[in-house]
Structure 1
Amino acid sequence: MTRDLRLVAISLFFWGLGEATWYYFEPLYMQQLGADPIRIGVIIGLSSLAMTLTHLPAGALADRFGRRSILIAGWLSGVAAAGIMYLARSLTVFAVGLVLYGFTGFVISPLNSYITNARREWSVARALTTIGAAYSLGAIFGPALGGWFAERIELRSVFGLATVIFAISTAVIVFAAPQPVEKREEDLHYRDLFSNTALSRFLPLVFVSIFAMYLSWPLTPIFLQNERQMSVSQIGLFGAFNGVGLVLLNLGLGRLESRRGLILAQVFVAVSIVLIWQGPGAPWFAAGYLLAGAFRTAHSMLVAQAEGLVHRANLGLAYGAVETASGAVIVLAAPIAGALYGIRPTLPFPAGLLLIVLALVLTLKLSPGVLTRAAGSPVPMAISDLRRE
């Protein structure tokens, strides 16, 4: 692992720790501030919309002007957003902070580009999932820490704790070295990217896969608290299991051929939905949270597959396109999940399962093929071969 990848991994460890102190409790705090399930879904959707709108511009700017400065801007914005959420005393101000946090998602495409260019002999999938595992390792400890603060101080305190941890993460990322900007053989605009047939056929797979896996997730903490009588500290513990799953599944599935890894990740998410929906008690819910870690692994696999579909000078823009499709899903899925929950609290779970079946079919048909050498470098199949990722 290179020096810069180590710095990114350390920084993401702290970011995962900080984000996980509040991520699993975010719907509970909004409920405490007076929001019903539908409003919670709408607010989460607005945050995701803010994230979605930034991916393509940020990816393009990173390709043209360099990645490091955009990374630092994203980290600093995250610190500010967490501070606003901590200081908020009303749902409206909290929603402003959460939407601002969504805007900081512009860092994702440049971050993926930075990792891809710093990986040396590693495959793209291995680099993204291994560095993602550092974030996930931090996320193991965050929920328990956040739950402890929430029960012994107040739920709001987790956002203040996150602000401090985010600041530490930011202090690490500033030491990452800048990367040279890829020279373009010719000027490439948005229209040129989207005239790429392979990428255009790939994006619907991203949309359906993420939608299917995410639909049951936004209101799961409320479901467990209101319908299964789980406490805040128990939900925090489940979040720790989710972090363990993120690490194990990223490291395990990240070494597989990416189409196979994506399929297995989708299956694991389906099993997690069944365990949380039908499980008779806390051990089953914990197992469900652990397997739900495959969602982020599947996302990394989808991002990695875009790398072989475009010119390297447009890597950030291509990653931005994938993240835009992914973010658009959450914009739609969160309020839909709230509406389904309002009809019947269990309804998002079978709906998600049915959509995962569709996603698996599309994965077999649309996922562009990428083989992995034993040594770890990617061997892309012909771009026209779209049977898989």
Structure 2
Amino acid sequence: MILAGIRFLRSYPDLWKLFWSNVLWTCGSGLYFFVWPNYVRDLGGGPQAIGYLTGLMYGVMALTLLPGGWLADRFERKKVMLLNWGLAALAPLLYARAKTWPELIPGVFLYALFFGWPAMEAYVADTVPPESLGRAFALTNSGYALGAIVSPILGASLLGFLGMRGLFLLAFFAFSGSTLLVGLMRSQKPVPVPHSDPVPAPRGLWLWVGVLMLTSAASAGARPFLAPFLEDRFGLGRAFILASGALLSFGEFFLAWPLGHESERSPSRAIFAALSLCALGSALFLWPYGFIPGLFLMGTDRVVYSLLRSIIGAQVRLGRGKVFAQTQILATGAEALAPLATGWLYDLSPESPFLLFRIVFSFLAVFFLLRPAARILGKEEPWIWSFRIWEKWKK
């Protein structure tokens, strides 16, 4: 399965470069990001400060997405990506200079600039045929997971020698390498959209956007509190917690390949399976030593995101940058609000953010299970493997 995925990516050289650019980016961010909430604590912040900074990050993402969609549909996409990647690469240098948690805000702002994201998604969508979009999105984005598998372990081994500020400097060099790889990709100009011919929203688009918003909010509300929970509830050390962050990436990377492959045959089955794995993982996470398989399975939430974005992108051809931006704004808005609520919930009960995560993903899995059929990518297909049995039972 992995070899087939590698052959698929290598058949599109620019996606192969983007994959490795993603690997390098999370090689940098993974050095510190899983214990980022703990670093906020070191600078005097509590759960509400963690929620505020996380909400600010998603808020900046949402505000910069709409102009990003406009840029992706009008300007050469590689240049838009390069500008965004280059600015975000400066964030860890600002983190390293912070002495109190409010001084992290400028770095959070730069890191959260997202005006290049619609250009990247449109770049991928215009590179492959519609039937391969799910696979292209899942495999290209799995590069983020591959980089984040190694970097938390490396960060844990270097933390005692370099400290958090030393890890931030290493992250800057990794981000710079990622930006360089984007610069080696071929240019891609968008297909012009006639001003007199507005692109109507396809039927069924808002269902997928709604699912994207719910899953994005649940993930954004739970992820910032994974590391604090391991420290508070199980008493784990900082280096061990940082290394444990690799489990999320293991799950995302190794499950993205079979789920991405399955999405070419049946997107609905792939999404149903990913939702179910996330719900199971969040239940296991709360048990002693259950956090090991729990984190592995919870990493599938990023695969859910990739599959949903691919379905949204497959429904439009013209003005993809605008559609990607507008739908992502809604999801990112939900992500911005969720940590503010779960920060308050964590103060009341540390298990609350993960219970909410499990409720959302379980509800959507059941929804997919009971909904009899759907029209996806222009064809009717069952939502689950047991579709025929379910139909007979209903009769």
TM over 0.5, yes or no?
yes
What is the identity, as a one-letter code, of the residue corresponding to 2:158? Answer: F
Judge conservation of contact 1:47–1:100 (CA < 8 Å) in 2: no
Counterparts of residues 96-111 of structure 1 (less than 5 Å): 96-103=106-113, 105-111=114-120
- In structure 2, what is the Cα distance between the partners aligned to 1:102 and 1:24? 16
Q: For residues 366 and 317 of structure 1, do their structure 2 counterparts lie closer, same or farther at Cα, with a shift above 3 Å needed?
A: farther
1:165 equivalent to 2:174? Answer yes
Q: What corresponds to 2:288 in structure 1?
A: 280
- RMSD after superposition: 2.3
User: What is the Cα deviation at residue 349 of structure 1?
Assistant: 2.0
Are the equivalent residues in 1 in contact too, given 2:268–2:383 (CA < 8 A)?
no
Corresponding position of 2:154: 145
Alignment gaps of 5+ in structure 1? 371-378
What residue in structure 2 maps to residue 376 of structure 1? none
Note if 1:304 corresponds to 2:314: no
Q: What is the deviation of 1:227?
A: 1.5
2:23 pairs with 1:13: yes
Distance, in Å, in 2 between the alignment partners of 1:368 and 1:65 is 35
Within 5 A, what are the aligned runs for 1:34-53?
A: 34-53=44-63
**Deviation per CA, 1:131-168, whole angstroms, max 9, x where unpaired?**
11222111111111222222222123222111111011
- Tell me how far 1:326 sits from its aligned partner: 2.0
Question: What is the CA-CA distance between 1:61 and the residue it aligns to?
Answer: 1.3
Q: Give the Å deviation of 1:20.
A: 1.0
- Per-residue deviation at 1:186? 4.5
CA distance in 1: counterparts of 2:368 and 2:57, whole angstroms: 28
Determine if contact 1:268/1:294 at 8 Å carries over to the other structure: yes
Corresponding residue for residue 61 of structure 1? 71
- Matching residue of 1:113: 122
Change (3 A) 1:253 1:386: closer
Match of 1:203 among 205, 209, 221: 209
Cα offset for 1:185? Answer: 4.4
1:98 CA drift (Å): 1.2
The DSSP-based 3-state class of the residue aligned with 1:64 is coil
In the aligned structure 1, how far is the partner of 2:33 from the partner of 2:117?
A: 17
| Alpha-carbon distance in 2 for matches of 1:38, 1:148 | 29
Give distance in 1, aligned partners of 2:375 and 2:236.
43
Q: What's 1:315 paired with?
A: 320
* Secondary structure of 1:262 counterpart: helix
1:333-377 C-alpha deviation (Å, 9 max, x unpaired): 11111111011111222222222233234546599633xxxxxxx
Matching residue within 37, 59, 84 for 1:27: 37
Could you say what secondary structure the match of 2:99 adopts? coil
- For residues 130-141 of structure 1, what are the structure 2 equivalents within 5 Å? 130-141=139-150
Q: SS of 1:263's equivalent?
A: helix
Taking a change above 3 Å as real, the CA distance of residues 164 and 280 of structure 1, as seen in their structure-2 partners, is same
Alignment correspondent of 1:342: 347
Structure 1 Cα separation of the partners of residues 106 and 382 of structure 2: 41
Equivalent-residue separation in structure 2 for 1:70 and 1:20 (angstroms): 24
8 Å contact kept, 1:17–1:142: yes
Q: CA deviation at 1:119?
A: 2.7
Give the distance between the partners of 2:14 and 2:372, measured in 1 at CA.
34
Corresponding residue SS for 2:224: coil
Greater CA drift, 35-44 or 56-65: 56-65
Which of 105, 118, 135 aligns to 1:126? It is: 135
Q: Identify the residue that residue 380 of structure 1 maps to in structure 2.
A: 378
State whether residues 73 and 322 of structure 2, in contact with CA within 8 Å, keep that contact through their aligned partners in structure 1.
yes
> Compared with structure 1, are the counterparts of its residues 89 and 228 closer, same or farther at alpha carbon in structure 2 (3 Å cutoff)?
same
> For residue 237 of structure 1, what is the amino acid of its counterpart?
A
Is the contact between residue 68 and residue 178 of structure 1 (CA under 8 Å) also seen in structure 2?
Answer: yes
**Partner SS state of residue 369, structure 1:** strand
SS in structure 2 opposite 1:106? coil
Q: CA deviation at 1:275?
A: 1.5
1:183 partner SS: coil
Percent identity, please.
24
Contact 2:86-2:179 within 8 A present in 1 as well: yes
Residue type at the aligned position of 1:132: N
Give the aligned length.
370
Aligned partner of 2:248 in structure 1 is: 242
Please state if 1:177 is matched with 2:218. no
Q: TM-score, normalised by structure 1?
A: 0.88
Name the TM-score, length of structure 2 as normaliser.
Answer: 0.87
Summarize the Cα distance change of 1:353–1:15 in structure 2 as closer, same or farther, 3 Å threshold: same
1:256-293 CA-to-partner distances (Å, cap 9, x unmatched) read 1221111111111111111111x222xx2221111111
